[in-house]
Each structure stands twice: as C-alpha cells, then as structure tokens.
Structure 1
Amino acid sequence: MNTQLIITGLLTELVEVHGVELRKLPDDVLVELRKISREVMEEFIEGDEMATKIYNSYEAFKQDVIEYHEISEKAFIEMRDLED
C-alpha cells in the first residue's frame, strides 16, 4: 500500500475519531529549528571526513528535490487551489 495513503488515513483518524486539532508551527519556530539543526549537523560532521561527505551528498540531493518540487508538487497544489 502507498505510504502516503496510509499517512492520510491515519491523519484522518486522528482528526475525526480522536479530535486532534492540526496546527502549523509558527514561522519563527521553524526558522529557529532550522538554525539549531544546522548547528547540530555542523558539530556532528566537524573533523569527520566520511560524515562530511555524506552530509554534503544529502544536501545536494535535498536541493535537487526542492527544485523538483517547485515544478511538480508545489505547482500541483497551487493549481489545485485556483478557481475554475
């Protein structure tokens, strides 16, 4: 079964059956989390050649995914919200 379908079903159950209220984290919290995450990763890879290589590979892949999402998923979501 598709993982996205499983997650969607579980999310629906949390909201409809268990009354969970979904809320987005505030932007300032997300910015701080990203800052702290970068600091932790920099400390983790410091002086470790293999960890640095893996991290740099991950960052390059992440950038490719971000660029792909700009023309795929993000574009689809924006199009979906347009009025007919």
Structure 2
Amino acid sequence: MDRVIPLSKAASKSISIYRESLKKNSEALFVSSVNQRVTPRTVEYMLNKYDVHPHKLRHTFCQNLFDNRIHIETVSKLAGH
C-alpha cells in the first residue's frame, strides 16, 4: 500500500537538486556510487554505524509531529497505522 508523506518546500527543493545531480535518471531516489538502487541492507549497515535503528527514525518522526501539535489521527495515518 502506497503512502503519501508531505514534504516542506525546502525538502522538496533539496530532493530536486539531488536528483538533477545524479548521473542517470533512476526510479530510485537513493542510488549507490555505481548507479544501483540502495538496498535495505545497505541502509541498515549505514544506520548501524551510528547506532540508529529504523524504528528509532520512525518513532522520532511521529514524536516530532505530536510535539508540534499535529492531530493524532494524522500522525497515525502518516505512520501507516
């Protein structure tokens, strides 16, 4: 099931600039230095270097929304619940 996550204008602009800097057009947003899609295992390895787990990122995302008084139903929807 696809989920749409809103981005700020600044984040959207940064992503556009990043995509333009890629050597080839790719469906994947994040690609390796050899223009291959970054795998979940690669992301896990990169996060482990900083002692961060994907669930912690998810928790922080939701907590930041809640702290900024975003309605709990909206937070739940963005979290995929």
Same fold, judged at TM 0.5 (above):
no
Higher RCO structure (Cα 8 Å, ≥6 apart):
2
Structure having the higher helix fraction is 1
TM-score, length basis structure 1: 0.31
